[in-house]
Amino acid sequence: MNHFALTIVGRDRPGIVSQVTEILFNQGCNLADSSCSILGGQFTMILILGHPEFTSRESFGEAFKPLEDADLTVALRVLKPGGEIRPQIEGDICMISVYGADKPGIVYHVAQVLGEKQVNITDLNTKLVGTEERPVYVMVIEAVLPEGVEEEDVNTWLAPTRDELQVDITVRTIPTVEL
């Protein structure tokens, strides 16, 4: 099976996921992993997909033309073997929530502290909520803690950032559940 990363970006409207997945289904693709979100009015989608015979963008022919005709940007990247496999990331999973007045640098400062401490960010989402007069910036991070690092350690590391940016930062470990 050959694997690809497919990225779709365009003005949000109902039906994009249906249109994209119909094309992929008709091409004989298998979806391995996906993420979709609305970012500032733009729908964004990234998919890891596989196909038993296709080896390049050219293999898909004009399959993505209806998306491009609908004013969506389509980017397809061929993955090297193993690029589709979810890495085995060892460590406890934690959720880090940040709330505060919207200002530049919130993502950078929090990510900088986590990166310096070798905390692996596996998912990050931000939204601007509240009112136009009182906007509130919300960031939710899923991260994997290195061995020996506890929730309290992350709270301690982020305390100076919390104080400097005047935001609320909450860290909580997610218990691992075996099915």
Q: What are the boundaries of each domain within the chain? A: 2-78, 93-174
Domain 2-78 sits in CATH at 3.30.70.260
Average pLDDT of the chain, as a whole number: 92
137: nearest Cα among 123, 150, 122, 127 = 127
The per-residue pLDDT for range 75-132, each reduced to its tens digit, is 999 998 876 666 677 788 999 999 999 999 999 999 999 999 999 999 999 998 988 8
pTM, rounded to two decimals: 0.77
Tell me the C-alpha distance between 96 and 169, whole Å: 7
Identical fold, 2-78 and 93-174 = yes
Two structure tokens written together for 153: 């350690």
Does residue 179 have a pLDDT over 60?
Answer: no
Q: What is the predicted pLDDT for the residue at 132? A: 85
Model confidence at 7, in pLDDT bands (50, 70, 90)?
A: very high
| Domain 93-174: CATH architecture, name and number where available | 2-Layer Sandwich (3.30)
